[in-house]
A and B are shown apart, each in its own frame.
Chain A
Amino acid sequence: MLVMAAGLLSLPALAFGADATPPAPVEYRDVPYVGSRNVIWVIAQLHLLLAGFVLGVPLFAWICEIVGWKGGEKRYDKLAKEFTKLLTSAYSTTALFGAILLFLLIGFYPKLMNYLSDIFFPSFIVYCILFLLETATLYLYWYGWDTMQEGGKKTFHIFLGFLLNFFAFFIMIIPNSWATFQSSPVVLAEGSDIARAWAATWNPTWWPVNIHRIIANVVLGGYICGAYAGIRYLSAKTPEERSHYDWMGYVGNFIGVFGLLSLPFAGYWLMREIYQYNQQMGITLMGGFLSWLFILQAMLIGVLFLGSNYYFWIGMTYRIPGSDIKYKKQMLAMLIALLVCLGIWMTPHSLVASMEEARKMGGSHHPLLGVFGVMSAKMTVANLMILVTFMSFIMYWRAGKVETAGWAKAAKIFMGLILAVSAIAVIVLGVWGYFVPAIIRINYFSTSQVLVVLGVLLTITPLTSILLKTAKTTSEMVWGVMPPRAGYSLVLNAIMIILLMTLMGYARSSSRVHWHVYGVLRDTSQYAYSPALGYASGIMALCTFLFCMIVAFIFWVATMGDKAKTPAVADKAGLPHGLPAMAGGSNALDEPKTSKF
């Protein structure tokens, strides 16, 4: 009876239960005190930097392996292997951060992830398959290094390196499609899953970001290699170690500069596409509240250019006896040119001024310097800085040699003329750009400036290479005698490129303002606002610090086994005349001499 009574009494509860509406789906979750957005920001940025490192290093290693294979220099092969060794641990760390990011995104932003999964599910499958292929190729590439050293096996190993980079490229561009979709979405209302995914993938900023990122990854890989070499150089105990790490630092800096020369072009293309896609987003980035980021960007890129050139110049004066006097004036002229260009690049359109100063200027635009604040001036000086840096490199390449070809004098005059005419052309186009409609400047003048500079690079590089094939070496290059500041400048360059990547990561994400998917899916969380630039700078610095610590840990773990072994003696194989610029233009490695700093 009692049970029946209890049952009857509980019947109304069933009615209440039937009336209760199901709980609304969770759209956001948060982390107390820290904030979910900050956690995602740091993890995503670290994952991106690690991914850049993991995608940049195989490219770097593969190029070095090919140079060693073609030129017969074992030290390049050794360098390539040394960096591939890092890949296995770096690869797993990157995947680990990717997994953490994925779990956190699902946890913190279920609504957004549900939406993205609905659109991109087919590409998730492709991504997983690519990961399996990449992992298998990496294992074969690394573990097969020693056994695939001769003949056809070496060719196959080089092919594996190609495959590694091939799969890596697609592993990069698929997530790029997810990220760029958020900024410039293309949404099909109808169609199959694959058609919708494909349309969303091929959005207006996908390829500009793909190209920009692959170049940036090469730059990151090169400068991190340089920083590693710099630190090892500073702590080297023996002349052989100093010699080896000095040379490695040179190669890292060279590859970093090689990528850096083309990076502004790719960045310009990306910004152009963003502007064309959506004027509002373009203005937010370049004229609105994010425009100050581009002054910071100018400073960071400027320091990279200065740091890279400084390393070239210091290398000339220390490694090539007699060059400090011979090239002093040229170095001074190039330094002044770089500083003037950087000064213009860093001059904002609206100046930071007190009320009194603004009153004297007649507003926040200076009547004279205001012209430096727009793209025509920025593009001009960026191109000139690329030209100067290229000249630095050519000077380094030719230092310590005398051209013996009969046509050498004519070639040198021709190259000088090309450089002078190109520099004048870049300046004329830049000034002219103020007097033509914006579309003419963007579509014709700016692209012509880029083509002029590329033309210089593509003309002078092979010409110098041919010229140096028959050149006589007058001063042998001496490795291992660089002063400590050379090592520090390599470390500075690496920090600059990492900071630069964190800065641009913030710019790209913030340009969406209060949208998860621009104009399609609104951010309705408590974090639907753009953080102040000072606050953002703090997070960028934190990401840079954490990434450096992670990379240092990876290097430490990967080289732990080496410490038990005898330090490797630098390979002293001779370098054929005129072999590539990467070689630094010396034909032989002398016995490391006593340091003179």
Chain B
Amino acid sequence: MKGALVTPVIVMVVVYLLLKFVVPIIPGSAPLPFSVIILYMMLTLSGIGMFYTLSKDSKDAFWGPMERFLTGDNIGGMQALRWGLLILFPLLVGWQTYSSTAVSDEPPGENRTIHPAPPGEYAGLSNPVAKTPDAIQQGKGFYAAYCSPCHGGNFDGKGPAARGFNPPPANFADPTTIAMLQESYLFWRIKKGGVGLPIEGMPWKSAMPRWEVELPDEWIWKIIMGEYDGAHQSPRTWE
């Protein structure tokens, strides 16, 4: 293996190391799941394949050694390695097949829908409470009493009780959570809680209480206003 094959191998290794070991140590980051690493690695491999087959010369330099190795054409001392690969490759496939189908103590992944569609009766609701400083302040007070233990005093999902939950409470300060939703969506989720999730939200693991049994609707609407204001976000609107 030499020449044009060295650079692609280095690129693949560097990309893997970056994704596996460098990205997780970036402040505020976390380890990447295998599905994402494999996705980015496949894209890198596709890019390498495309780039090295753009011209005849680069294609020959890239593919030539592999072709010679696979066909056994003039490879001298590497013949043993070629036979080794012939034996190793089916074994690897077999191992992969076995490990992906064998019984494991690892719980299955949860590809649940995080934002299932709300029932029709909630979809068109608008906040009936006037957006006044008093109402927002009241909402923040209700939030502090009922929501902040889990969702945090800073609206960042890091309340004192948050560590006990999986999935963790939502981080409202993240611009990709409540800022993407209309107020009516939050009203539905707060009112009905985890037990009110529709079938597409399976498995129903949310520990969100069903607040309709404890809080009047007006308080819920005020909490929503308080959440948006406190998290420095705005609800999705069409006006």
Chain A residues at the B interface, C-beta cutoff of 8 Å: 276, 278-281, 283-284, 287-289, 291-292, 306, 310, 313-314, 317-318, 324, 328, 331-332, 335-336, 339, 342-343, 346-347, 349-371, 373-374, 434-439, 483, 485, 519, 596-597
Please give, as numbers and ranges, the residues of chain B lying within 8 Å of A355 by CB-CB distance.
106-107, 109-110
Q: How far is the CB of B166 from chain A (nearest CB, A)?
A: 7
- With A339-B47, A596-B56: A347-B36 Cβ-Cβ less than 8 Å: yes
For this complex, 5 residue pairs linking A to B, each with C-beta atoms less than 8 Å apart, are A280-B123, A291-B115, A339-B46, A363-B167, A369-B36
Q: Which of B21-29, B74-82, B88-96, B211-219 contacts A (4 or more CB under 8 A)?
A: B21-29
Q: How far is the CB of A334 from chain B (nearest CB, A)?
A: 10
Q: Of B56, B179, B185, which contacts A283 at CB under 8 A?
A: B185
Please give, as numbers and ranges, the residues of chain B lying within 8 Å of A287 by CB-CB distance.
113-117, 180
Q: How far is the CB of B66 from chain A (nearest CB, A)?
A: 15
Please give, as numbers and ranges, the residues of chain A lying within 8 Å of B235 by CB-CB distance.
437-438
B30 beta carbon closer than 8 Å to chain A = yes
Residue of A nearest to B120 (CB): A280
Bound-state Cα–Cα, A287 to B109, Å: 19
Chain B residues at the A interface, C-beta cutoff of 8 Å: 23, 26, 28-36, 39-40, 43-44, 46-47, 50-51, 53-59, 106-120, 123-124, 166-168, 174-176, 179-180, 182, 184-185, 200, 234-239
Please give, as numbers and ranges, the residues of chain A lying within 8 Å of B46 by CB-CB distance.
306, 339
**Interface of chain A: mostly helix, strand, loop or mixed:** helix
Q: Of A276, A292, A314, A361, which contacts B238 at CB under 8 A?
A: A276
Q: Would B176 and A373 count as touching, CB distance under 8 A?
A: yes
Q: How far is the CB of A201 from chain B (nearest CB, A)?
A: 23
Q: Of B30, B112, B118, B175, which contacts A362 at CB under 8 A?
A: B30
Q: Would B116 and A288 count as touching, CB distance under 8 A?
A: yes
Bound-state Cα–Cα, A427 to B163, Å: 36
- With A279-B184, A353-B33, A360-B31: A331-B51 Cβ-Cβ less than 8 Å: yes
Please give, as numbers and ranges, the residues of chain A lying within 8 Å of B167 by CB-CB distance.
358, 363-364
Residue of A nearest to B109 (CB): A354
Q: How far is the CB of B205 from chain A (nearest CB, A)?
A: 11
- With A276-B238, A439-B239, A597-B56: A361-B33 Cβ-Cβ less than 8 Å: yes
**4 other A-B residue contacts (CB within 8 Å) besides A314-B54, A367-B29, A371-B175:** A283-B116, A355-B109, A366-B32, A597-B56
Bound-state Cα–Cα, A304 to B73, Å: 36
Q: Of A289, A438, A596, which contacts B179 at CB under 8 A?
A: A438
Q: Would B26 and A368 count as touching, CB distance under 8 A?
A: yes
Q: Of A353, A354, A363, A373, which contacts B168 at CB under 8 A?
A: A363
